[in-house]
Amino acid sequence: MDEQDIMQQQALILFDRAYRHHRQGELAEAMNLYKRSIAIQPTAEAHTFLGWAYGTMGRHDEAIAECEQAIAVDPSYGNPYNDIGVYLLEMGDAETAVSWFQQALTASRYEEPQLPRFNMGRAYEHMGEPLLALRWYRAALEIDPLFLPAERAKNLLLGKLN
Distances (CA, A) of 70 to 11, 50, 107, 118: 15, 10, 13, 22
Instruction: With beta carbons less than 8 A apart as the criterion, state whether 101 and 116 touch.
Output: yes
What is the pLDDT of the chain when averaged over all its residues?
96
- Strand, coil or helix: 62: helix
User: Residue 11's domain is classified under what CATH number?
Assistant: 1.25.40.10
Does the residue 1 lie in any domain?
Answer: yes
Does the residue 42 lie in any domain?
Answer: yes
Does the residue 21 lie in any domain?
Answer: yes
Does the residue 32 lie in any domain?
Answer: yes
Question: How many domains is the chain partitioned into structurally?
Answer: 1
Does the residue 47 lie in any domain?
Answer: yes
Dist CA 26 CA 18 (whole Å): 9
β partners of residue 77? 109
Does the residue 13 lie in any domain?
Answer: yes
Boundaries of domain holding 50 = 1-80
The H or E element that residue 91 is part of is none
Does the residue 105 lie in any domain?
Answer: no
pTM beyond 0.75: yes
pLDDT in tens, 85-132: 999 999 999 999 999 999 999 999 988 999 999 999 999 999 999 999
120: closest CA among 137, 106, 143, 108?
137
pLDDT of residue 1: 72
Residue 76 phi, psi dihedral angles, 5° rounding: -85, -10
Instruction: With beta carbons less than 8 A apart as the criterion, state whether 56 and 66 touch.
Output: no
- Strand, coil or helix: 110: coil
Q: How confident is the model at residue 162 (pLDDT cuts 50, 70, 90)?
A: confident
Does the residue 53 lie in any domain?
Answer: yes
Contacts within 8 Å (CB) and 24+ apart, 53-57: 53/22, 53/27, 55/83, 55/86, 55/87, 55/90, 56/27, 57/27
